[in-house]
Each structure stands twice: as structure tokens, then as C-alpha cells.
Structure 1
């Protein structure tokens, strides 16, 4: 029984054609290069019959765009890229070239005539001069936050702060705190000893650190006259508020008394005056008969 099954399988393998398809792969699916260098995106393929397949490269962004199509480069890749077999080389890459690329091979004579491979390109950018936000002056006792940002470095930069060309370090007794990722330097309550020249430095694994120009920070005390002015203004506000409350209370009481008087006046209706007596009647003569007539 076993020999019969084996013979049947052997006959099927002999008489049935072998179905092959184009195969596409990449020896390096993730490429990391520095800015302004060349990036090589590998693409290897094998076909069954077709010796001259169609090769295309596309880039996936918000929409899929062509890089290499119909044996020529498209758009910004024209004049700064080349093909060696199916491998794509982009010269002097920038951050805009980062993204996902797809190598597509179409062999029309093969049984399964399409294959593809994906390669991700990451262009690393060295630090740029960061933007630093340092106020020129601040009052003592105030909260303060200094900001530093480098938006162009890839991978994202980390930050350090310097005062009078000396690196600031965070400790348990320090009057400030730093966030190396966000680039912030925070003071909860500045004092005059915090005055000085401040600058920030950005760095990553690609290139040399870059620093902004140092800026002067002055911490000044509140003048006495300003303190008095603030106290006087606060007292004036309190007195004004009390007066407004008293006026409102008095007006409400006065309105209630007027309402009571109005109601009492409307409820009393005096009776109407009596009508005047009729006038007296004078010089009225009475008629008396003097003779009687008989018929």
C-alpha cells in the first residue's frame, strides 16, 4: 500500500509542471546613513523565465510616489540617483529622503509575475545651533523657565545648560531642575546668585554638539516704592469692595421699605364723600277754590 502511494506521488510530480514565480528580496531592509552621504537600497530578484523584467522603485509617504519608473528617475531623484541591477543609490541624501521605499519587479513571462521588497531609509542629521530663550531680567523670588530647542537634529538632540561657561549639574540641593530631553531649565524661586551668562548645548550621536550664544540674565530685587504701591493698591481694592457691598445692602433695604409703603398705600381706599343736600323751595303758592258750580 505504501509503495503504491509513493508511485502515484512520483507520477504526479513527473507529469505536473513545477510552478515558479518571481522572487524579490533585500539584503538590508533598514538603511541608516548620515546627511549629505550616499544611500544604497539593495534589491535582489530571481525570475522563472523572464530575463528582462520591469523594475520600479516607489516611496511611501502620505501617498505612494514614483522614484524610478519606465527606466528613468522621477521628480527630485532625477540627476542624483542611479540603478545597478535593481539596487537603488541616492546621492547626497537629506532628511526629506527618509522614509519607506519599495522595490517592485514584474516578470510577465513567469507563472506568478510580480514580487516586491521593502527598505526603510533613515537619514541622520547632526545637531544644529539651538534656539535659546533667556530673559534679560527677572525679579527675585519669581519662578523662571529657560527653554532650548533644536528641531532639525535626527535622532532628537539632548540638551545641557551652562552658566558662565560652567556646566550645570542637577543635585538634591540645587535650586533648579533640568530636562535633558525637553531642553528646559527651571527655577522655583530665583535669587541674585542666579544672575549670569546662560547658554544651551544640543548633541546627538551623529555630529559635534552645537551651542547657542550666551545671554545675560539679571535677577533684581523689588524696589521699596513698588512694594508700597502694591500694598496701597491692595488696600484700595479692599476698601472699594467693602463700600460696594455696603451700598448694595443699603439699596436693597431701601427698595424693600419703598415696596412696603407702596403696598400699604394701595390697600387703603377712603370712602367717597356724601352727596350735597337738595336746595330749599321758596315762594310756592297753594291754590284754594273759592266757588263751586253746580250744573
Structure 2
């Protein structure tokens, strides 16, 4: 028995002097936090040191880079004036979607053998549905394909969508001429008909708040008879315009408008010939009489 006590004594001394017993420990009682927008978020951080009674506490936020939240006993950036710290626990007031992310609590105890400990806390800010943007064309030809779009980019968790026609919810099935994607917010028609005309609106919803809907927009399906009439009327108008232009040119030629212009151009292009040179004069100095005349 005494021998066992003698052997256990060095082992106990080794454990007491182990570096693991001389290090700071940091943990969080709630590593994942979900709160509604514009409420307070409490990011818990608990620590324990062996020797250092006043360790240094820092909070950082991970993202594309590392942003300081609490450093050198004060808050920085957008957290100044809207956050507080108690021990190592961080409280952020009136959180928004921009505050979502992963935070890291670091405790540095310079007197401990292992002087740095850290833990991570993720914050997810829940956002209720916003009024979605809806894309509904004013008119479309019968027989053509059609896709209506609806999107709410701000809600967290992501919204699901529902389409209404004339204030009646649409439910897709194998017999309906359309399909609905509740996650993407699309309403697709393979081939629209006159019966598909009406007032369309989309509603977004999630588990955080009340659903929101866009303003209903009117969709008009134009049948081919009307489109053919429109094309015929357009072709007739174009033909009439060309006919009037040709008639105006013919009348202008008959009245001589074009000939006058040609004469004016020809008179400008031809100039009068230069005058003939004067006849040569005789030089009397070099004249010699070669024959005398007698009367």
C-alpha cells in the first residue's frame, strides 16, 4: 500500500504541473444565436484563467476579412454606441441583417502558460418578408409561352412564393396549363389562351413575419385575329404612304419642276466660247516697193 502511494505521488505532481492546468479556457453556452431584426443579440462567452485576474478580452467578426468589434476595452466601427460587454459576453442592440455572421471571442491571459483561448459564436438575424418585385407583362399573344417572375431578396430565411389570379390562389397540377416554383417564385405557361387574361399578383412569406404581396397587375392575352387585323392595317398604311410619295414625284415631273432644275444645272455647266484673236498688223518699216506704176 505504501509502495502504491509512493508511486502515485510523482504522478500527481506531474498532473498538477501539467501545462493544460495552467492555460486559459474559453467557451460559449450558446454557440448559435438567432434573433429577429431590430432586437438585441447576446453572444455568450465564458472564460476561466489559472493565474491572470485581469485578462485581455477581444471580439472579432469574420467575413471577407477580420473586423474588430471590441478591442483595447472599447467598441469600434458601427458597434460603437450600440453594444455593451459584461465579463466577456457581448450584447449588440437593434441588430440588422448586416450584423449576421460568425464572431470570435478571444481571451488573452499573459500569466498563464498557454495564454490564449478562443471560441466562436454564429449570429443569424431573421428578417420578415418584404414586398416582392413582380414582373407581369401588360399583353401577350395567344399561343405563346409566358413566365411571370416574383422575388423577395431581403427576407431571412428565404421566402416561399404564391401566385394569385383575380384574388384566387393558383395551385398547379397535371391538368393546369401552368406550373409554379414556390422557391424561385416563377409562374410558367406553356401556351396562354384568352382565359388566362386577368389580374395577377404574388405573395412572399416565411416563418418570421406576416406575408407581403405586390400590387396586382393586369395581363391581357391578344388573340391572333386581332393581331392579323393589326398587321393588315399597318401594311395598308405603308402602301398608302409609298403611293403618295410616287404620286408627288410624278406631279412634280409633269409640272416641269425637275426640268427647270436640269436647265439651271446645264446653264451653269456650259460657258460661252472665248472671243477670236485680233488680225495681224503689217510692219511698214520693212515694206519695199518692187514695181512702179505709171499713169
Query: Do these two structures clear the TM 0.5 threshold for a shared fold by scoring above it?
Result: yes
Larger radius of gyration: 1
2:94 to 92, 101, 104: 92
Question: Offset of 1:153 from its aligned partner?
Answer: 0.5
Q: Which residue of 1 aligns with 2:178?
A: 176
**SS of structure 2 residue aligned to 1:37:** coil
**SS of structure 2 residue aligned to 1:83:** strand
Q: Which residue of 1 aligns with 2:122?
A: 120
Using the alignment, how far apart are the partners of 1:14 and 1:171 within structure 2?
75
Q: Which residue of 2 aligns with 1:145?
A: 147
Which segments of structure 1 move beyond 3 Å, counting only runs of 4 or more? 2-6, 227-230
2:37 to 35, 38, 48: 35
Q: Which residue of 2 aligns with 1:7?
A: 6
Give the TM-score normalised by structure 2: 0.74
RMSD: 2.1
**SS of structure 2 residue aligned to 1:201:** strand
2:166 to 164, 167, 182: 164
Using the alignment, how far apart are the partners of 2:62 and 2:226 within structure 1?
65
Question: Offset of 1:170 from its aligned partner?
Answer: 1.2
Give the TM-score normalised by structure 1: 0.74
Spell out, residue by residue over 1:186-207, the C-alpha distance to the aligned partner (whole angstroms, 9 max, x if none): 0111000100000000000000
1:71 to 70, 73, 76: 73
Using the alignment, how far apart are the partners of 2:41 and 2:170 within structure 1?
39
Q: Which residue of 1 aligns with 2:17?
A: 17
**SS of structure 1 residue aligned to 2:224:** coil
Q: Which residue of 2 aligns with 1:242?
A: none
Question: Offset of 1:12 from its aligned partner?
Answer: 4.2
Count of matched residue positions in the alignment of Structure 1 and Structure 2: 230
**Runs of 5+ consecutive residues of structure 2 not aligned to the other structure:** 236-295
Residues 224/108 of structure 1: CA separation in 2 closer, same or farther (3 Å cut): closer
Question: Offset of 1:112 from its aligned partner?
Answer: 1.2
